[in-house]
């Protein structure tokens, strides 16, 4: 496989048609080596328009979803980012290239160590990787400019929006299969929240995700 041709085709045939037109984001996708975050047995699928298994029942997002999310978050060089679900580490690498610092939490120790090695190999030094369950709230007490949930959650816990800085943005996929929607939440200067639906999609749920209250009769 011609790696660079495959990368070019991914950008031109999958990502641009999905309304990802930010030249900085497109350049980023050409620079961060996606194939370095894929297991050797799946290396030939690194640029395919599908979810790639990474172990532990988890998978990488489709490239177009990764690109669209990075574009919609509008990450600035001064931003601090919190990621729920490190997975392969590829999305953390994309976020880290645009942000001041990324804190990423992974519940699966094996995935976490694999992501740590891949990030080091890619030369990404501004990611702090935490091992722990962050499905219902960020670990620690810090607030962030950007929060990204990489697995779906039936209900978005308020603990996440409570930890956004003024002007902060949060990406989450909410709902239950087969009806899920990708949403972007923005916090205004006075703490007001604005939620926009970006697209419909399906994502594996976060382990221990918050469930809606059920009425009992």
Does residue 209 register a pLDDT over 70? yes
Q: What is the spatial distance between Cα 87 and Cα 61, in angstroms, rounded to a whole number?
A: 10
Q: What is the spatial distance between Cα 164 and Cα 8, in angstroms, rounded to a whole number?
A: 35
- 111: three-class secondary structure by DSSP: helix
Average pLDDT, the chain: 95
- Look at 169 and 189; give whichever has higher pLDDT: 169
Q: Selecting from 3.40.50.920, 3.40.50.300, 3.40.50.150, 3.40.190.10, what CATH number does the domain 64-200 have?
A: 3.40.50.150
Residue range 10-53, pLDDT digits in tens: 999 999 999 999 999 999 999 999 999 999 999 999 999 999 99
Is pTM beyond 0.75 here?
Answer: yes
Q: What DSSP state is assigned to residue 185?
A: E
Residue 197 bridge partners (DSSP):
183
Residue range 74-85, pLDDT digits in tens: 999 999 999 999
Residue range 103-137, pLDDT digits in tens: 999 999 999 999 999 999 999 999 999 999 999 99
pLDDT score, position 197? 97
Residue range 53-67, pLDDT digits in tens: 999 999 999 999 999
Query: How many C-alpha atoms does 115 have within 13 Å on its Cβ side?
Result: 31
Q: Are 180 and 116 in contact (CB under 8 A)?
A: no
Every domain of the chain and the residues it spans: 64-200
Q: Which two tokens stand for residue 184?
A: 């972007």
DSSP collapsed to 3 states, 71-110: HHHCCCCCCEEEEECCCCCHHHHHHHHHCCEEEEEECCHH
CA 144 to chain centre: 15
């Amino acid at each position: 496989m011609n790696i660079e041709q495959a990368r070019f085709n991914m950008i031109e045939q999958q990502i641009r048609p999905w309304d990802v037109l930010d030249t900085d984001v497109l350049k980023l996708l050409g620079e961060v080596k996606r194939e370095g975050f894929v297991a050797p047995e799946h290396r030939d699928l690194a640029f395919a328009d599908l979810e790639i298994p990474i172990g532990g029942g988890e998978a990488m997002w489709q490239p177009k979803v990764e690109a669209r999310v990075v574009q919609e978050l509008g990450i600035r060089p001064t931003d601090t980012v919190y990621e729920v679900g490190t997975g392969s580490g590829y999305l953390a690498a994309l976020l880290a290239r645009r942000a001041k610092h990324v804190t990423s939490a992974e519940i699966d120790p094996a995935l976490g160590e694999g992501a740590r090695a891949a990030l080091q190999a890619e030369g990404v030094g501004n990611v702090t990787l935490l091992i722990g369950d962050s499905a219902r709230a960020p670990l620690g007490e810090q607030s962030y400019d950007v929060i990204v949930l990489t697995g779906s959650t039936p209900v978005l816990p308020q603990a996440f929006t409570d930890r956004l800085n003024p002007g902060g943005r949060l990406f989450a996929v909410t709902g239950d299969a087969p009806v899920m929607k990708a949403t972007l939440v923005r916090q205004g200067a006075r703490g007001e929240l604005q939620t926009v639906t970006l697209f419909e999609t399906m994502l594996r749920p976060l382990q221990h995700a918050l469930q809606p209250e059920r009425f009992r009769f």
